[in-house]
Structure 1
Amino acid sequence: MAQKAMPGTSPEGIRPTYIYKVVLLGSTSVGKSSLAYRYVKNDFRESLPTVGCSFFTQMLSLEEATIKFEIWDTAGQEKYHSVCHLYYWGAHAALLVYDITNKETFNRAKLWLRDLEKEFLPDEIVIALVGNKMDLAAEREVATEEGEEFARTKGLLFMETSAKSNHQVNDIFMAIVQELLQRKREEAPNHRLLTVNLEESRTGTGCC
């Protein structure tokens, strides 16, 4: 995983800064742009379809670290599908977004997952399945349990959101942050062990 720490953040007592690339994938009109705009601007806007890709940044100041999200909002139209892999190259996390009132967008999210599985190993990227438009729950075509079950079988994070009413928008991004930081913590002991082993190896070589 190509997580990057900003220069000058390593001295003791200074929180590290991690830059994470997050891509939003899904069919057109599921609300990817609205989710990104709500999260970054805390506002709702009925967006026109994204052409190619839009880009947002968001900073989070947590006790453990400072996080900079680079959010790539990809176009959902079929004509852009073949080039979207260029946008999610090097991503640390992905949101697979579908519209809970449109079953076909849920099926399309499964196809996006297949694309990601071809590009990344399971431990290289955090993937969240996001059912958007909870404000239209009365028109739902995809049951919460259906989304939960698919996410569980694939090892994905799962949440239902509404960019319009701001329902769980911050929560899904925070869940991604926590998962990324957890993976970062799990990496650390391995790096320390490797350093110790290398030192022992050099010491042994010098003695012989």
Structure 2
Amino acid sequence: MYSSLLEAKVVILGSQGVGKTSLVVRYVQKTFSANCTSTIGASFMTKKLVVDNCKVRLQIWDTAGQERFRSMAPMYYRGANAAILVYDITSEESFRDMSSWVEELRKNMTEDLIIHVVGNKLDLASSKRAIPVSRTEEYVSKTLGTEFSVHEVSAKDDNGIEELFLQITRKLVERKQEIERIKRINAENAITLQQLEDERLQQAQTTNNSSVCCGI
């Protein structure tokens, strides 16, 4: 028996060609294709897993990276609990584009959104790397804050994908458990206050009855 059930929405953002679709397909279907077609608008896949005795259902939205679909983006972001911002470690342009995606998130998402920045195509690091991970970490620290996570992964080699989504899911579960804990404490406090009020009223009634009996 699982302690609770969590349904969460995760959105994947980034420029065209960084491997967003490959990342999602690798995680959900455990496959990789070098010839993924460009996403039109958005699509989503579902992943079920159990983390910390919590049954989780992730709805993972793969959004289009082309400029012509940008106006549609807020419709797909709505209600998201976490976002994965993807760039290509071999592409300077995709890294520079992150600033516009960060701005997109800030305009359309809540402040408590969980954000992970991901450099894809780690399998090409030795021959074609253009962006050192230290540069990404510095950018994220200055732009988003030190609490946001940076990953380098390879959808092709299935390197780091499971760890990425597990980290995000754990954060989502921890947040749910904390909310439930606060609700439980508030409910207990409300019960205690009601008990105190009931005792006060009962004591007042007893006092009144005593006064009547004594002819006061």
TM above 0.5, one fold?
A: yes
2:22 is aligned with 1:34: yes
> What secondary structure does 1:96 align onto?
strand
Distance in 2 (alpha carbons) for counterparts of 1:109 and 1:81:
14
Distance in 2 (alpha carbons) for counterparts of 1:143 and 1:66:
37
2:4 is aligned with 1:24: no
> What secondary structure does 2:59 align onto?
strand
2:172 is aligned with 1:172: no
Number of the residue aligned with 2:45: 56
2:172 is aligned with 1:184: no
Number of the residue aligned with 2:210: none
- Structure 1: gaps spanning 5 or more residues: 1-12
CA contact (8 A) 2:6 2:55 kept: yes
Q: Which has the larger radius of gyration?
A: 2
Structure (1 or 2) with the greater helix fraction:
2
Q: TM-score, normalised by structure 2?
A: 0.84
- Structure 2: gaps spanning 5 or more residues: 202-216
> Post-superposition shift, 1:56?
0.5
Distance in 2 (alpha carbons) for counterparts of 1:49 and 1:14:
38
Q: Once the two structures are aligned, what percentage of the paired residues are identical? A: 36
Residue deviations 1:2-51, cap 9 Å, x none? xxxxxxxxxxx433221111110010100000000101111101311001
Number of the residue aligned with 1:158: 150
Number of the residue aligned with 2:122: 134
> Post-superposition shift, 1:63?
4.2
Please, what is the CA RMSD of the aligned residues? 1.6
Count of residue pairs the alignment pairs up? 195
> What secondary structure does 2:130 align onto?
coil
Q: TM-score, normalised by structure 1?
A: 0.87
Structure 1 stretches (4+) deviating beyond 4 angstroms? none
Amino acid across the alignment from 2:90? T
Closer, same or farther: CA 190–15 of 1 in aligned 2, 3 Å: closer
